Amino acid sequence: MRALFLYCLSLSASVWAQSSAVDAYVASESPIAKAGVLANIGPSGSKSSGAKAGVVIASPSSTNPNYLFTWTRDSSLVFKALIDQYTLGLDTTLRSEIDNFVSAETAQQQVSNPSGSVSSGGLGEPKFNIDLSAFTGAWGRPQRDGPALRSTALITYANWLIANGNASYVSSTLWPVIKLDLGYVVSFWNQTGFDLWEEVSSSSFFTTAVQHRSLREGAALATALGDTAAAQYTTQAANILCFLQSYWNPNGLYMTANTGGGRSGKDANTALASIHTFDAAAGCDAVTFQPCSDKALSSLKVYVDAFRSIYTINSGVASNAAVATGRYPEDSYMGGNPWYLTTAAVAEQLYDAIIVWKRTGNIEITSISLAFFQQFSSSVTTGVYASSTTTYSDLLAAVQTFADGFLVINAKYTPSGGGLAEQYSRSNGAPLSAADLTWSYAATLTAFGARAGVVPASWGASGLTVPSSCSTNSGGGGGVGTVSITFNEFATTVFGENIYLTGSIDALQNWSPDTALLLNTDNYPTWSITLNLPASTTFQYKFIRKFNGAVTWESDPNRQFTTPASGSSVINDSWR
C-alpha cells in the first residue's frame, strides 16, 4: 500500500492543477453545451431550421457529412438527458420541450418507412427527415436500440408525472407510445440488427443492455397502470438478461461489443451501455454491468488501452493516464479518430463508479477487476477495502484523477468558442466531421452531471439474478435461439499476418474469405473470437491466414461442431 500512497503523493500537485482545469472546463462548457443541445431542437432552435417541434437534428451539418436528419437513438438519448434534468429539478424550464418531443415521437411512430409500418417492424427504422417524413435512401436498417431508448426516456417522464399527480396524461398520452416501443422490444430482441454505429449487423451488447432496461422499467410502469402486459415484459426481460451474459469474453476479460463484423469487439459500445443502464441502487452488480462492477471496469480498461498506441495525440502518455478514445480501434470512418462523446463516456462511467463507492463505503477488487486497479497501485490485491482504510481513499482519489483526465483531454481539443463536433483529429486534435453534434453536447452534460454526483432515478436493476434456464422465444418476433461459442486457435504468425474464421453458416460468413471474421490476439499465440451462434446447430468451419493480400486456408478436412441447446462452449484448435 506504500506504493499507492507514494503514487498519490507524487501526483498531488498535478492532480490539483488538473482538477482546477476540469472545474474551469465544466464552468465554461456547461452553458455552451446546453445551448448547443437546445439549438438543435425544432422548431425554435437556432440551428434546426426546418425541423418540426420536438425534433432533434443530429447536427446542422448538411454536407460532408450530411447529418441533417433525426435519429431515434440520438434523439432519445438527448431527451433522456433533458428529462433527467427536469425531473431531478435541475432545470424546470424544459417542460414544453419535453412535451414537444412526446408529440413528435408519437407522430414518428406512425410513419411507414423502409423498415415497415408501426405494426410490422417500422419502429426499428433508424432515422427520418427532420419534417418527420420517411428517409427512403439506402441505410443500415433496422436498428433495434431506438425503441428501447425512447421508451426509457418517456418512462422516466411518466414516473415523475405519476409521482406528481398526473397519471391521466401518462395513461392517455405517454403509455400508448411507450407500449408500442416495448412491444417492439418483446418481438425483436433476439433478432440481429445494425449496431449503434450503423455498420455491423449482428447482436450488439449496447442494444441488448438497453432493451433489458426498457422492459424492466416498462413492467413496473405497466403494473402501476394496471396493464397486464407487465408479465410479458418481465418474462422477456429475464431472457434478455440471460442473453446479455453471453457477450462476456472470459479470455480477454471484456464485453464483446458485437457478435459479428470481424472486429476485436473492443468498442465504446460497452462503456455507453454501462452509463445508460446505470442504477446506483444496484451497487456494483456485474449481472447488469453496472459502472463499478468488475466486468465493467475490466472492459473499460481493455477499451481505453486499445487506443494508447494508435493516435498520435496519445503519444507519450503514461500507461495509467487518460487518453483520447474513439469508437473502436479498427475504425476508419473519417480516418478513424477520437470522439468527444466516447471520451466523455469513459469519464462518466468512472464518475458513476465513484458515486456508488461513496454510497456503499467500500471498494471491492476481484480477479477480474484487479488489472484495472493495478494501474494505480501495482501492489494492490483482491479484497474489499472499507472507507476507513487508506487504500480505499487512495484508490478513490486515483480513479477521480483518472476520470478527470478524460475531460481534460476533451477540454484541450475543444475550440475556444466551445463548439463540439463529432470527432477531433487523431494527429493534431483539430475538430472533424459534423459540427455541433447534438450527442456530443448531451454526452458532455451527462458526464459533468456524474462528476457533480447527479444520480438518475433507479430503473429496477437491484437484486436481479440470471435465470437458471433461459429461453430465446421472443413471444412475437420469432428468430433462432443463440449460444455463446468461443473459438481459440493456437497459431504463430509473422508481423502483419492475421488469423480469421469462416464457415458454413451465415454467422460464419458462409465460407467467404473476404468477410471472414478476424480473431483477436489478447492471448497470443492463441487467437480468439467469441460469437453468438444458432443453438443446436451443426456447422463446419476453418481458420485462414491473411498476409500481404494472400489467403492461406487450413488443411482439410473441414472442422465440425454442434452447438449446445443452451449455455456456452469453448473450442480449442491448433493450426494445421
Q: What is the DSSP letter of 173?
A: I
Residue 96 CA: distances (Å) to CA of 78, 102, 103, 166, 442: 15, 10, 11, 16, 18
Interstrand relation of 568-574 and 482-490 (parallel, antiparallel or unpaired):
parallel
| Element holding 523 (H helix, E strand) | strand 520-523
Nearest-angstrom CA–CA distance, 89 and 457: 12
Please name which of 248, 274, 375 lies closest in space to residue 317, comparing C-alpha atoms: 375
Task: Give the number of other CB atoms < 10 A from CB of residue 212.
Answer: 29
Q: Looking up cell 457529412, which residue turns up?
A: 65
State yes or no: 248 annotated in a binding site: no
Catalytic residues: 195, 198
Sign of CA dihedral 218, 223, 227, 231: positive
**Sequence-separated (6 or more) residues with CB below 8 Å from residue 427:** 311, 312, 313
Q: What is the DSSP letter of 466?
A: -
What does the block give as the cell for 216? Answer: 424492466
Residue 8 CA: distances (Å) to CA of 351, 398, 402: 18, 7, 12
Nearest-angstrom CA–CA distance, 221 and 563: 38
* Dihedral-angle region of residue 493 (phi above 0 means left; psi in -120 to 50 means alpha; beta otherwise): beta
Are the C-beta atoms of residues 142 and 115 closer than 8 Å to each other? yes
DSSP secondary structure string for all residues of 328-363 = -TT--GGGS--BHHHHHHHHHHHHHHHHHHHHHTEE
What does the block give as the cell for 455? Answer: 444520480
What does the block give as the cell for 148? Answer: 428501447
The strand pairing partners of 538, in sequence order, are 562
Task: Give the number of other CB atoms < 10 A from CB of residue 253.
Answer: 21
Nearest-angstrom CA–CA distance, 123 and 144: 8
SS3 labels along 369-434: CHHHHHCCCCCCCCEEEECCCHHHHHHHHHHHHHHHHHHHHHHHCCCCCCCCCCEECCCCCCEECC
* Type of residue at 35: A
Residue 462, classed as helix, strand or coil, is coil
* Preceding omega of 142 cis (within 30 degrees of 0): yes
Binding residues for substrate: 139
